[in-house]
Structure 1
């Protein structure tokens, strides 16, 4: 399974909203500028997140988006499933070789377990812990 830009940028949106949780709405423009992403593309991604009940939109001059629940209650699996669809490394059927099918099921379940036990709050803490150890290598 390969996570596309939809999933990666969707997690970026959700992590930004998590870091600002309780501070009021955040505009997509500010997220796009901070991460050098297309605001138009983020607008396309936030619609399914809103429809799934993960974010709420606030209208007005100081509007934007907020999380619908606390960062501890939303998992990366919630976000990925909304934007990418079902989690599966390959498409398989009941007619497939049982040994291979068992492997694919175990891989799928392992990926789902990691995504479903990693909340947005966890992602923020992982991100914050890693700030001091970032190295940039140029070749």
Structure 2
């Protein structure tokens, strides 16, 4: 099993979007610049994310993308499956025809259990979890421009 750049980039882009969502729609050009991901690749990924109801697009001046659900309701598993990223450690795609003679290999159950464990873990990690981790990390290294910008925007307003 391997997680390709498609899944990694989708999760990274969604986290970037989630961190900036409070300021209105986020442009793909901004995500592309900050995360060093090709704009055309992001367009493909966000088309899939939109079709899977994870993001909404806003057209016109000031447009971009917004989360379609609260951060606690979007898991890493949701993101990865939305962009058609397979999470399968079996050699047969789960069809139990691992060997040349279409028989099941002796370790099929091991890889199936691993698939289930990985999926359950990724389903338990939400964007909200990743945001909290990012904030915690930024508080430890707030000298960087990126972290300083995130912390300034995320501070609660005191009346």
For 1:75-90, what aligned pairs fall within 5 Å after superposition? 75-90=75-90
- The 1:41–1:116 alpha-carbon spacing in structure 2 relative to 1, beyond 3 Å, is same
Distance 2:91 2:83 in 1: 18
Which of 58-67 and 88-97 deviates more?
Answer: 88-97
Q: Write the distance in 2 (CA, Å) between the matches of 1:101 and 1:35.
A: 37
Query: Aligned residues, how many?
Result: 132
Give structure 2 stretches of 5+ with no counterpart.
97-102, 142-159
Structure 2 match to 1:31: 31
Instruction: Kindly name which structure, 1 or 2, has the bigger radius of gyration based on alpha carbons.
Output: 2
1:64 maps to which residue? Answer: 64
Structure 1 unmatched runs, 5+: 134-139
**Deviation of residue 121 (structure 1)?**
0.8
Runs of 4+, deviation exceeding 4 Å: none
Alignment match, 1:21: 21
SS across alignment from 2:91: coil
Alpha-carbon distance in 2 for matches of 1:55, 1:89: 29
Q: Distance in 2 between matches of 1:37 and 1:112?
A: 25
The 2-side partners of 1:47 and 1:60 are apart by 17
Whether the 8 Å CA contact 1:17–1:26 is kept in 2: the answer is yes
Separation in structure 1 between the aligned mates of residue 85 and residue 42 of structure 2, nearest angstrom: 18
Equivalent in the alignment of 1:96:
104
Match 1:109 to one of 98, 110, 116: 116
SS of residue paired to 2:65: strand
Deviations 1:31-50 (A, max 9, x none): 11112221121111110000
Q: What residue is the counterpart of 2:129 in the other structure? A: 122
CA shift, 1:130, in A, is 2.8
Decide whether the 8 Å contact of 2:58 with 2:65 is kept in 1: yes
What is the TM-score with the length of structure 1 in the denominator?
0.86
RMSD over aligned CA atoms reads 1.6
